[in-house]
Chain A
Amino acid sequence: MAAPAPADFRTRLQDWLPKLVLAPSFAVTILFVYGFIIFTIFLSFTGSKMLPKFDTWVGWANYHRLFSLPEWNIALKNIAIFASLYIIICTAIGLMLAIFLDQKIRGEGGLRPIYLYPMALSFIVTGTAWKWFLDPGIGLENVMHQWGWESFSFNWIKSNTMAIYTIVIAAVWQTSGFVMAMFLAGLRGIDNEILKAAQIDGASNWQLYRRIVIPLLRPAFLSAFVILSHLAIKSYDLVIALTNGGPGRATAMPATFMYSYTFTRNEMGVGAASAVIMLMTIAAIMVPYLYAELKEKK
């Protein structure tokens, strides 16, 4: 066998080089993302307590136990309330602000950054700020009393039934400006000729937006929905900082449940099962969306 000529070797190296450079990233993704997912799924079928134990296959027992736990059911109820209100309110506020800002507003350049800056903060900072602002002792309630409105009462954050809504308030504060930016970009992409044609046909502003503009914003609605639902399901930091899951466990969420069962209550099997449920929920939303995006690209 003759040794390959140097030039030949060089071309072949050039052929392999891209794949070689990409390989570590791909390997890391396969191992640390997909390998870990399989690991956790496997774990959710074992009786692991404090440490992973693979020799104790328990079948679906962790899932049965998970759905019989009051705390998990509270978490599911909370995420349902939180996610739906969060998505609806953020979308409504975002759409409204975007449409209003699109009316040749003076000072738009000053307003947009004000609406958007909360997105640069960490949820822990947001949680801290709102925690004390909503605290009846020193926050809003106290302020109103000082200003002479003695009967004013706002103690949601201390209330078992209302605390979940304070999380909605803080989360909406953080992300609604971002949704505004998405809708504004959508609005600015709409061809003015279409609007002018409709105006000549005698459409009122209300009809214009309801019949023409909002339907044209469909892609922005879809992206907003996907991003917001994905943020909602992952919400962990904000709950920890704002209410720490309390009062009691009134604001427990799947993410806080997973953490406490896995790392503080030593029920790793159940914790893993709850993580799998979270992944499946997000995958059900993200996979079709990403698939459609990638297919479009090709």
Chain B
Amino acid sequence: MSAVTQDTSVSTGRVTRAFIYLVLILFALFYLLPLYVMVVNSLKPLPEITGGNMMALPREWTLEAWGSAWSTAQIGVSPTGLKPYFLNSIMMVVPAVALSTMIGAMNGYILTKWRFRGDVWVFGLMLFSCFIPFQIVLIPMARVLGMLGLAGSVPGLILVHLVYGIGFSTLYFRNYYAAFPTELVRAAQIDGAGFFRIFWRILLPVSGPIAVVTIIWQFTNIWNDFLFGASFGGVNQPMTVALNNLVQSSTGVKEYNVHFAGAILAALPTLFVYIVAGRYFVRGLMAGSVKG
């Protein structure tokens, strides 16, 4: 999929243009609104929210809610704040992303440059696995994790995300390597280069862009996952599950400012990635939907 190539040659009148700008700006406000509400209210003391206006800027700016969300808020039964869960998410995401990307690169290389009978079927089966509703695997997965002694642990979550992440990473690398001239691989083979050497010397050096796309995609998906975390996290829940526990807890006063601060904390890593590498993020989204 090529990115921005050309503007349309359609021309529009003045009134139409004014209308178009108005609509575009209104929608920008619509998309920014929840972020504004979250940030502004996370910086207010609680009474200013319950007795005040959600859209107003804080009269008294404070980082108290942030401190509370990070280190003292009640999550489930213990007042630990979101910090340990944030660390759980990091420990889960890093190996899962690294492994699924490396495996995906190998798979993509094999499926395009070492084709064999039935390779399209192998790929098709892996591709469909990206789109199954994960409800269909929850029950057996719980059982398998239990048998492996990985239930309720971070390694268990890594395994789950790795298993269901390979499909997408394979898809990305396969589509990318498909455009790489196979003649170069054949030439290297005739020169006596082996399977790993060709990958290492010829394909890996050109894999930068697709590796970034894959890493961002896997990172966003795994960090944002809730279903697997809630089902298999046990006491080692990831950030999303802890945030939900914080917000849904029915005991005590609802500390909206802490909820908002927690929500931003949960969003920060993926937002950060989006801000520094938005271009690749969009490319990944497109490659995951329009396979071509």
Contact = CB atoms under 8 A, between A and B. Distances in A.
Interface of A: 14, 17-19, 21-22, 25-26, 28-30, 32-37, 39-40, 43, 52, 93, 96-97, 100-105, 111, 113-126, 128-133, 137-140, 142-143, 146-147, 173, 177-178, 181-182, 185, 187-190, 192, 195-196, 199, 205, 208-209, 219-220, 223-224, 226-227, 230, 233-234, 236-237, 240-241, 244, 254-255, 258-259, 262-263, 268, 271-272, 274-276, 278-279, 282-283, 286-287, 290-291, 293-294, 296-298
A39 B143 CA distance: 11
B77 interface: no
B120 A124 contact: no
Interface of B: 1-10, 12, 16-17, 20-21, 23-24, 27-28, 30-35, 37-38, 41, 49-50, 52-55, 103, 106-107, 110-111, 114, 116, 120, 122-129, 131-141, 143-144, 163-164, 166-167, 170, 178, 194-196, 220, 223-227, 230-231, 240, 243-244, 247-248, 256, 259-260, 262-264, 266-267, 270-271, 273-274, 278, 281-282, 285-286, 289-292
29 contacts: A14-B195, A21-B110, A22-B107, A25-B166, A29-B126, A33-B137, A35-B140, A96-B23, A100-B23, A102-B7, A120-B273, A120-B274, A121-B270, A121-B271, A122-B224, A122-B226, A128-B247, A132-B260, A138-B49, A138-B50, A143-B53, A146-B53, A185-B3, A185-B286, A192-B8, A199-B9, A244-B248, A262-B138, A290-B131
Given A126-B34, A227-B289, A294-B124, 18 more contacts: A25-B126, A26-B125, A32-B163, A93-B27, A101-B24, A114-B32, A117-B271, A121-B267, A128-B263, A130-B34, A133-B37, A192-B9, A199-B9, A208-B10, A223-B290, A230-B131, A233-B133, A279-B136
Nearest to B189: A14
B132 to A, nearest CB: 6
A116 B126 contact: no
